[in-house]
């Protein structure tokens, strides 16, 4: 077996909509291009994902950068709506199936301690061998250290790991790290991508 472990992102894969849906809607609301929005968002979101700033502070910084401070609350509410607790049960069932088939499975999420507590309360940890949350580890994707630490915790070599994420940015260091990336766009596309590399 070439691959021994499969990692999953939380937001946009296990739960809620892919992140591109939010970034497109946010950019449209601000009347700017998606690239301009993402440049500002990624400039500040590492601090948020490490737990150094709140969501309110994140959007205050982004909106200040973009010259639209009056949009702070709008973006905060939009983010909450797009990240609402909405489990993708078919993806979670796939996690369980892969685990039954002998793969190690893990969750690696850029997320807050508050959201981690919700995940644990809902029993998400029962589906995974390990869960790494950035506010805990202080390692934020796409930092290669986050993936290397994740693979080590799963007990596999980095080239034995597949990682599934809805963010191109989060997967941007895959070649540098040595794991196999899969960009999540839909459940059916994910099944096809896993079939191509012989996982299912």
Residue-wise pLDDT tens digits, 34-75: 999 999 999 999 999 988 999 999 999 999 999 999 999 999
For 76-90, what is the mean pLDDT? 83
Closest CA to 73 of 59, 54, 52, 92: 59
CA distance 59 to 48: 10
Both 192 and 139 in one domain: the answer is yes
Of the chain, the percentage scoring pLDDT greater than 90 comes to 85
- 8 A C-beta contact, residue 173 and residue 147: yes
CATH code of residue 140: 3.40.50.1000
> What is the domain range of residue 174?
5-16+86-196
- Counting every residue written for the chain, the total comes to 200
Question: Residue 84's pLDDT band (boundaries 50, 70, 90)?
Answer: low
DSSP three-state, residue 166: coil
Q: Which pLDDT band holds residue 85 (cuts at 50, 70, 90)?
A: low
Average pLDDT over residues 94-118: 95
* Together in a domain, 121 and 147: yes
CA 186 centroid distance within chain:
14
One domain for residues 132 and 184: yes
Judge if 75 and 132 occupy the same domain: no
Same domain, 90 and 188: yes
136, pLDDT greater than 70: yes
Residues 98 and 51 in one domain: no
> What is the number of domains present in the chain?
2
Is 106 found in the same domain as 40? no
């Amino acid at each position: 077996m070439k691959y021994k472990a499969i990692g999953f992102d939380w937001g946009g894969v296990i739960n809620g909509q892919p992140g591109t849906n939010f970034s497109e809607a946010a950019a449209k609301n601000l009347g700017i291009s998606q690239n301009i929005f993402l440049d500002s968002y990624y400039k500040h979101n590492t601090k948020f994902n490490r737990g150094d700033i709140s969501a309110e502070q994140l959007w205050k910084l982004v909106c200040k950068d973009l010259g639209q401070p009056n949009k702070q609350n709008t973006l905060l509410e939009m983010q909450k709506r797009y990240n609402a607790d909405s489990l993708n049960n078919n993806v979670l069932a796939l996690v369980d199936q892969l685990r039954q088939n002998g793969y190690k499975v893990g969750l690696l999420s850029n997320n807050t301690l508050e959201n981690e507590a919700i995940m644990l309360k809902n029993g998400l940890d029962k589906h995974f061998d390990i869960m790494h949350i950035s506010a805990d580890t202080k390692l934020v994707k796409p930092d290669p250290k986050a993936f290397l630490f994740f693979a080590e915790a799963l007990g596999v070599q980095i080239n034995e790991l597949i990682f599934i994420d809805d963010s191109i940015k989060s997967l941007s260091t895959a070649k540098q790290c040595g794991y196999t990336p899969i960009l999540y766009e839909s459940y059916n596309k994910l099944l096809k991508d896993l079939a191509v590399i012989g996982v299912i």
